[in-house]
């Protein structure tokens, strides 16, 4: 699994011109699932996300987690994070999990984040054409791949 995490002051996802999810201070997370991901990736990654210290403390140092600041999460599935651009100019998506694998893992990631955060998170809709907007705070953008834990 790959995630692109952006610390935001606000973020929203619209589907067919209708608001599907919206947050204020928190994390906008794009999630890419590959065919060999499993529940251990979810457990490790969700723990890493909620404990990631990228929010400022009283001294302006990035030393607080989303748990510490009571922030929100907006999670959006994005298969294009597994794009291969090695050949030609048209990306290939063979490494992205097919829906029969990806949808259950996406849903389990939602549950894992909600459990660890202690509240409901906002989401996009798997497979939908979405419009995502955000105001990146900092800017702070972190990329984490669950296959590179070292």
Strand, coil or helix: 129: coil
Pick the catalytic residue: 34, 80, 123, 141?
A: 80
Which of 20, 136, 134, 33 is CA-nearest to residue 78? 33
Beta strands in the chain (DSSP E): 2-15, 18-23, 26-32, 55-56, 62-64, 72-77, 122-123, 130-145
Which DSSP string corresponds to 86-122? SSSSS-B-TTBPPHHHHHHHHHHHHHHHHHHHTS--E
Tell me, yes or no, if 9 is annotated catalytic.
no
- Active-site residue list: 80
């Amino acid at each position: 699994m790959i995630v692109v995490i952006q610390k935001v002051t606000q973020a929203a996802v619209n589907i067919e011109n209708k608001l599907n999810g919206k947050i204020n201070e928190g994390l906008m997370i794009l999630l890419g699932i590959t065919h060999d991901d499993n529940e251990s990736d979810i457990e490790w990654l969700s723990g890493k996300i909620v404990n990631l210290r990228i929010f400022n403390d009283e001294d302006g140092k990035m030393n607080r987690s989303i748990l510490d600041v009571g922030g929100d999460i907006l999670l959006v599935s994005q298969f294009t994070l597994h794009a291969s651009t090695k050949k030609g100019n048209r990306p290939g998506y063979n490494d992205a999990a097919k829906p029969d694998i990806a949808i259950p893992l996406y849903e389990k990631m939602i549950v894992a984040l909600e459990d660890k955060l202690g509240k409901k998170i906002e989401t996009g809709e798997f497979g939908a054409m979405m419009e995502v907007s955000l105001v990146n705070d900092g800017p702070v953008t972190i990329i984490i791949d669950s296959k590179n834990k070292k």
